Amino acid sequence: MPFPEASIENLQALGYTEDEARFLYLAATHSGYFSTRQFLEFTGAKSGDKSMAFSQKLLGKGHATARLLLRNGRVYHVFSRLVYRAIGRENIRNRREHSAEHIRTRLVILDFVLTHQENEYLETEGDKLHYFCQQLRIPKALLPAKRYTGAIHSKATARYFVDKYPMFFCPRPASPPVVTFTFADPGLQSLDSFTTHLLAYGSLFEALPEVRLIYIATRPTHFEAARKAFLAMVNRAPKQDPGVEILQYFCFRKLWEAKQYAKLRNEDIEFLNKCEKKFAGHRCEERYASWRDGQVSDALVLSEFRDLIPQRRVSFEGVLVDGQVALFEAKPRKKAVRAIESEMQYAEEETFGSPFG
């Protein structure tokens, strides 16, 4: 994982050593929260002067707060705008206070990132939008989004990938590179949150020919159930033949452009509006003019875009991390160190090597 030199230099200018600046960059970007143990593991130092100097520096400069938890342990929250401005993340939501469950989730995520620094992460919303919309040409309408209402209630802002789970490319070369998705389980009692997550990402997964997901958890309790839920969702048949959908879109669009509104029902207009957003920037837009002018037949459109149904290659892996469980549970249960990996049809080789955890 390359560290942006400008960000590290900016953090050093705030008074941090190079090791502290690198750790602070990871903690602020991927979590917002960290524990002393995570800092020590990153720097390779033993507990004592180094961690105390770092924590006192953070607190003394007003860049973080400390929260006392079980066994006299502490979790630090990096909230200072100066720190986030130094790394170009001034408006990131990690600066805000959060619930205990959210804090546990971010610590799980940071554990994973610290253990897998070799990956190339899509760190920001902008990075992810550029990859999916610009490189893969996937419409924004298919991406997981949440709308936020500002001071003017009639205006809402759409934000994408608000869960901020790690998303990355493996160091193993692939052509073209394939992104790996993750879900972080801080010790959930059920799979309700994971099911909601799958629903939010369902449209995006359907648009991808290969889907890789890592379920990160502090214990393997839900690994098998999560695997089944994930595979059941990503391997289901498409709701509609893409060729038929695009041809129908062309027909309605031609009627609308010819101002033959009487031939369109309300549901036809709704379908047209939906498709205009869905296929904005899609290569089918280039085909529309030739179809409209009679240069391309309906049969050709059907056959060309029916190929949009991807031959799916799907993989699931369960990975264990510590997640600082001892700071939150009076009697943390012992967990077996194992992972589950499953790869489905159309897989010619294993997506991952030995388990991460």
Average pLDDT over residues 139-159: 80
Q: What is the pLDDT of residue 17?
A: 95
Is the confidence at residue 275, as pLDDT, over 70? yes
Give the pLDDT band of residue 144 (cuts 50, 70, 90): very high
CATH of 5-97, one of 3.40.50.620, 1.10.3720.10, 1.10.10.10, 3.20.20.70: 1.10.10.10
User: Which stretch, 95-99, 174-178, 246-250, 323-327, has highest mean pLDDT?
Assistant: 246-250
Residue 146 CA to residue 200 CA, distance in Å, equals 10
CA dihedral 257→141→121→27, nearest 10 degrees, is 130
For the stretch 278-307, pLDDT in tens is 888 778 888 899 999 999 899 888 888 876
The CA distances from residue 120 to 87, 153, 177, 320, in Å, are 17, 38, 11, 20
Lookup: tokens for 270: 């709704």
Q: What is the pLDDT of residue 209?
A: 84
| Torsion 140-142-146-152 (CA) sign | positive
Question: Quick check: helix, strand or coil at residue 169?
Answer: strand
Q: What is the pLDDT of residue 355?
A: 38
Lookup: tokens for 58: 């953070």
What value does the mean pLDDT of the chain take? 86
For the stretch 11-61, pLDDT in tens is 999 999 999 999 999 999 999 999 999 999 999 988 778 899 999 999 999
* Alpha-helical segments (H) within 293-326: 298-306
For the stretch 212-264, pLDDT in tens is 999 999 999 999 999 999 999 987 755 567 788 889 999 999 999 999 999 99
117 compared with 152, residue with greater pLDDT: 117
Residue 63 CA to residue 57 CA, distance in Å, equals 8
Q: Are 82 and 95 a contacting pair, CB within 8 Å? A: no
Least confident of 123-132, 156-165, 275-284: 275-284
Average pLDDT over residues 165-194: 89
Share of the chain above pLDDT 70, in %: 87
Instruction: Supply φ then ψ for residue 169, to 5 degrees.
Output: -110, 135
| Torsion 91-94-99-105 (CA) sign | positive
Instruction: Supply φ then ψ for residue 227, to 5 degrees.
Output: -60, -45
Share of the chain above pLDDT 90, in %: 55
Q: Are 102 and 32 a contacting pair, CB within 8 Å? A: no
Neighbours of 323 (CB within 10 A): 28
Q: What is the pLDDT of residue 254?
A: 93
The CA distances from residue 30 to 112, 166, 238, 301, in Å, are 10, 8, 34, 44
Share in percent of the chain as helix, strand, coil (round to 5):
45, 15, 40
Average pLDDT over residues 107-113: 96
Give the pLDDT band of residue 72 (cuts 50, 70, 90): confident
**At a CB cut-off of 8 Å and minimum separation 6, what does 224 contact?**
340
Domain boundaries, the chain: 5-97, 120-238+310-343, 242-306
